[in-house]
Every structure is written in C-alpha cells, then in structure tokens.
Amino acid sequence: METREKALRRAMPWVFVLIWSTGFIVARLAMPHAPPFSFLVVRYALSVACFGVWIALAHAAWPQGRAQWLHLAITGTLIHAGYLGGVWAAIKAGIGAGTVALLVGLQPVLTALWISSIANADKRDHVSMRQWLGLLLGLVGLTLVVWHKLGVGEVTPWNLSLAIVALLSITVGTLYQKRFVAPCDVRTANTVQLLAAFVVSLPLALLEREPIVWHPAFIGAMAWSVLGMTLGGSSLLYLLIQRGAATQVTSLLYLVPPVTALMAWLTFGEPLTSSMVLGMALTAVGVALVVRTPVR
C-alpha cells in the first residue's frame, strides 16, 4: 500500500502537466463560440455543482475559520479568475498564443526571484544554483518551443497588459496559497476558490456582448474544462502547492507549452520543427534539475 501511495505521488506532477497542457487546445476549440469570461463563468458554475455533489457524497470537511475561507477566496480569484481570465482575454484580444505562453512561462523565474529576495525564506523553498541553472535551461527551451509563434497576432498595450495580469496572478496566487492556506480537503477548498472566481468574473461576463453558441466543439471543450481541467488539473495543482516547494511546483509549468505543442501536432497537424524538439529536450532537462531531490 505504501509503495502504491508513493507511486501515485510521483505520478501526480506528470498527470498535472498532461491535463494542464490541454488548456490551449480547449481555448482553440471554444474561443470561436463564446467570449472568454462567459465561458469561464459557465465553467466555474458547473465545476462548483460537480464538486458539490462529490462533497455531499463523500461528506468532505469544509475549511475551518473565516481566515481560511478568505485566503482560499483570494487564491481562487488570482489562480482562476486572474490567470485564466487574463490568458483567455489576451488571446481573444488578438495576442498570439505563443507570446502568451512565453510570458506566462516566466512564472517559475518570478517565483524563484521572489523566494530568493526573502531573507528568512523557508529552507525547503530555497533556490539552489542547480535549480537556477534548471530554470535558465527551461526558459531557453520554452523560448525555442514557442519561437515560431512569436509575432503571430498583434501585440497591443491592452492584450499585453492582460497577459501580464495572468502572469502576475498565477505567480502571486501560488506564493500566497503556499504561505497562507492551511492543508484542508481539496474538494471543499477548490469549491471556495471557484465560488470566488465566479463572483469576480460574472460582472465581466455580463459586459460581453457576444453570445454563447452551443456548438458541439463548445460543449466538448466545456465538458473537458470542468471534468478534466478543474476537477482534475486544479485539484492536482492545489495538492502540489501544498506538498511541494514553490519553485519546484511552478517549474512544472515550463513543460506545459512543449506538451501542448505535441498535442497540437497530433490533434490539429500543427508543425513540429527540430528547434521545437530541441526546446522540449532542454525544457525537460531544466525541470529535472529543478525538481530533483539532492543527494544527502
């Protein structure tokens, strides 16, 4: 039983990367049929409903104390509403997906810089020279993967600002959760986060004039967003942040664009060049350097 539990824990980061990497695929399928915040509001509402059924059947415990509810609401606003809303709105506003991927891909570096700037940082989150090398290799690899998509789409002050909001939201949200959110049931914690994201995103959705078209592609994208990305991916992200060092967790996001590129190649026939393959290899090596446990 213990060996099985260890195997599941080791598999969690890679399952998370696979699920999280479907985000741009989902966006590509859904974007023509719904404005960004309208899609996300429906996603949050359906996710809360699914979690509600799961919580009722499992009799899961809710977070204790108003402070924890507030901390979870803040992280939900940042990680869900801020990050997802910023990425989807930026792409809808015309910025290229590769540019967004590269900008959001700076998160591991920002996280490491923040941790290194705190004198009394938790030793478990200390960024070593080996990890800095891994972060640099990962960033170079990420750049090679998305290089062919840079410049595809018009960059304006508006959509660039939305992408930066997404970057800052996921970075601050991860650090905030690691610092302030106490371990609790992932189902109820996710529900509180999603409720906060729904409340924040609903007014923005009401301002969108484009209607939702219930096209089969939209329905499929919504179903996977709820069942796969939110119930699966977001829950795994919550657990990974609780159990791992912040730098190690965020470095996994370096792997998302390479895996997304592979999925786009398999699904949509998008080109897969030699420079992208090299970038994938560098990214994998970089992440391995960051997450590898030092020998003692």
Q: Model confidence over 141-186: pLDDT tens digits?
A: 888 888 877 766 777 889 889 989 999 999 999 999 988 998 899 9
Q: pLDDT-based confidence at 14, cuts 50/70/90?
A: confident
The residue with greater pLDDT, 223 or 142, is 223
* Alpha-carbon span 145 to 274, nearest angstrom: 10
**Ramachandran angles phi, psi of 35, nearest 5°:** -70, 160
Q: pLDDT-based confidence at 60, cuts 50/70/90?
A: very high
Q: How far is CA 24 from CA 6, 31, 71, 84, 204, in A?
A: 31, 10, 28, 11, 21
Is the pLDDT reported for residue 197 higher than 90? yes
Q: Model confidence over 232-282: pLDDT tens digits?
A: 988 888 888 887 766 777 788 788 888 888 888 887 787 888 888 888 888
Is the pLDDT reported for residue 42 higher than 80? yes
The residue with greater pLDDT, 83 or 12, is 83
Apex 32 CA angle, 26 and 37, nearest 5 = 70
